[in-house]
Amino acid sequence: MKIVLIGYMGSGKSTVGRKLAERSSFKFVDLDDYIETAEGISIPTIFSEKGEIYFRKKEHQYLQEVLQKEESFVLATGGGTPCYGNNMAAILKATQMSYYLKLSLPALVQRLEGEKAARPLIKNIPTEELPEFIGKHLFERSYFYNQAHHVISCDGKGNSEIVSEIAKLSV
């Protein structure tokens, strides 16, 4: 079984993915970590030294590599992964178990305000401009995110509750 989690940065894909993989006794794969290991450098360094186009090509390549594995796994994608190339089509072709972890704009802003330094995409965005920036991104990306087989509304839910909800749908 292949379970793929998509959603905006800060939506909990990695945290929920780890817990879900543990509960299911599946391997957990964080696509960003996979890319960093394969490339031997961090994603911010890839962006600054080689550019976003290079990163998106490599992201597509490594996504395909992971999706072709025969083993059962839980995959947490990057926030932009489904929105580039044919990545969302590849996800939908590889599994019937894709989940969009959906959070409202206020919930995402609240989560991401304290994580700005660790998030290259938003680290230089003034806090007062964060809602507009995230809102614009959500609008642009929602077309891709909403193609997931299941949309999990995560507002007001703890990670364990989200994991249970996905586990029930994945049986």
| d(C-alpha 81, C-alpha 166), whole Å | 20
Q: Which two tokens stand for residue 57?
A: 């090509």
- Collect the ranges in the chain with pLDDT lower than 50: none
Residue 111 annotated in ligand binding? no
In a domain, 156, yes or no: yes
Amino acid identity, position 124: N
In a domain, 120, yes or no: yes
Give the CATH number of the domain where residue 157 resides: 3.40.50.300
In a domain, 171, yes or no: no
Residue 32 annotated in ligand binding? yes
Residue 116 annotated in ligand binding? no
In a domain, 170, yes or no: no
In a domain, 50, yes or no: yes
Residue 14 annotated in ligand binding? yes
What pLDDT is attached to residue 163? 97
Residue 11 annotated in ligand binding? yes
Per-residue H/E/C for 45-92: HHHHHHHHHHHHHHHHHHHHHHHCCCCCEEEECCCCHHHCCCHHHHHH
Residue 79 annotated in ligand binding? yes
What pLDDT is attached to residue 123? 83
- Structural domain boundaries, residue 81: 2-165
Residue 12 annotated in ligand binding? yes
In a domain, 90, yes or no: yes
Q: Which two tokens stand for residue 126?
A: 């003034």
pTM score of the predicted model:
0.95
**pLDDT tens digits, residue range 35-49?**
999 999 998 889 889
In a domain, 36, yes or no: yes
Sheet with 27-30: list strands edge to edge: 27-30, 73-76, 2-6, 97-102, 150-153
How many structural domains comprise the chain? 1
**pLDDT tens digits, residue range 47-67?**
889 988 999 999 999 999 999
Residue 142 annotated in ligand binding? no
Residue 51 annotated in ligand binding? no
In a domain, 18, yes or no: yes
